[in-house]
Structure 1
Amino acid sequence: MYLPPQFKGQDAQAALLIQQYPFASLISSDNDGLPFVTHLPLHLELRDDSFVLLGHVAKANLHWRHLQARPQAVVTFLGPHAYMSPKVYPDLVHVPTWNYLAVHCSVSASLIHDAPAKDDLLKKLIADNEPGFAAQWQGMTQDYAEKMLSGIVAFELKVTGLQCKIKLNQHRPEAFEAMHAVYAKGSDDERALALWMDKVRQ
């Protein structure tokens, strides 16, 4: 992605964004060479100082076949985003913009077919999103659990390249405090951006 140096985030910020906003876009090439996109939650792990993303798709979703044939893919995460009015500047010689947080990962995929490994992956996603459901999942009959596991294809996505964009107009200090004041009283996304502005200026 286009990443001016003033908006370049660090790996630790990327990890935090992925954990806070785990619903991703997985982008591969289909058999015609066109982008094939699946929207899905992913679990982040740190292994040997490298990021690994874990997820799964329904067996009926052809995306896993594209990953099998062409393991190189891209994963994107979008954090909070919001409009920024030029009214925050002390003068009128400015235009509107849009502030946002995003992470792009180049990945290499490997499929997981082993049922116990798929079960372990699902437990990690459950722990991320609804820990209380773990007991219910573990209490399922073996036949039902096997049926559910056979209906998905799981995968690991080893991150081979990472870009993190923290676009908060931090290169415009004359408007930073005014923009923070607007965002702090705004929508959920705007308030989330205000919290990230606090991190940037620390």
Structure 2
Amino acid sequence: MLSTLKDRIIERLFFLLENYRKKKIYADKKAIQFKSIGENFFIGKDYRIGNPQFMQIGNNFSVLDRLRIEAIEKFQNEVFSPKIIIGNNVNINNDVHIGCINRIEIGDNCLLASRIYISDHNHGSFSKEDLKIAPNKRPLISKGPVIIKNNVWIGEGVAILPNVTIGENSIIASNAVVTKDIPANCVAAGVPAKIIKRIVSDEQS
């Protein structure tokens, strides 16, 4: 009798907690005014989202704690038109920072581990003139967008820098720094990242 009652209480508590979690996610989703957003949205705690009106997110998006994602519309006297586009079935772990003044795309079915940095811009150039300006006062410059295609797996501690495309099905190994395009179906590692393996499908072998 007591055992049955205890089980029912535990079951009820789990139901209430799950219901609260779903309501909180829905409230967070409504509070963050994205340009567009799909179904099944989950975001962990302590996030920072700058200018969500420039962000499009697909279905089944899940991100854990301390996400920092920023679409920068204005810096000093410069005005930008940023676009962040995230596809369907994207899973992101803890402590990921994405910064955009140009365009960042993450395709469908991508998996991002923790402590990842993705940026399509730099603070200033490497000119003598910019060296006379404090780094935090230098103008923001984008050499090009960051495009991450479908089914990409990005490992722990990776940095992806401006003007880079990562092809479908590729894997970026932990702590790599991606400064140039990575073709489809490759494993890349190192600083700067280089191809260490090509993934061959059954049809190609």
Asked whether the two chains share a fold, i.e. TM above 0.5, the reply is no
Q: Name which structure has the greater RCO, CA cutoff 8 Å, separation 6+.
A: 1
TM-score, normalising length: structure 2: 0.19
More helix by share: 1
TM-score, normalising length: structure 1: 0.19
